[in-house]
Amino acid sequence: MDVDKKYFKNISPRERAIFEGAITMGALFHQFDGTPVSLKTAESLENAIGKAMELQPCIKEVEVKINRQMLIDIENKFQYVSLSGDMLDVKVISEYEGQQAIIRLEFIKELDYPLMYVEEID
C-alpha cells in the first residue's frame, strides 16, 4: 500500500514536512515530560530523546538541550528532578520531497510558557 498516496494525498510536500515535524515535537514533549533527570544524566537523556525522535518519518535531525542551570537551581536531596517543558530547547528538522521545516520548542519568558512553533520553512 502506498501510504503517501492514500493518506497524504490532500497536502503539499511543504505541509507534510510541517506535519511530520509537529507530530514529532508533540510526541517528544508528551512522552518525555516528567522523566527523571539530573546533571549526571542530562546529556544521555538529550541523546536518547534525539535518537528516538529521529526514528519518526521524515525527520532529518533532532537537537535537544536541557537547561543545566535549572537542574542546579532546583537540585534536591534526591539528586534528580522531573523534566519539564521549561527546561527544554528543542529543534526538529523534518524534510519531505525537498521541503524542509524547522519546528522549535523553547521556553518563552514573556509568555511564561514552553512554546512549540514553526521556526522556518524552506
Q: Is the pLDDT of residue 19 over 90?
A: yes
Q: How far apart are CA 108 and CA 111, in angstroms?
A: 5
What's residue 74's pLDDT? 84
pLDDT digits (tens, 9 = 90+) for 60-105: 999 999 999 999 988 788 889 999 999 999 999 999 999 999 999 9
Dist CA 42 CA 9 (whole Å): 40
Q: Look at residue 4 in the predicted model and tell me its pLDDT.
A: 84
Cell matching residue 32? 518525555
List the Cα angle 62/120/112 in 5-degree steps. Answer: 75
Domains and CATH numbers, the chain: 8-121 (3.30.1300.20)
Q: Is the pLDDT at 118 greater than 80, yes or no?
A: yes
What DSSP string runs through 50-72? Answer: HHHHTTSTTEEEEEEEE-HHHHH
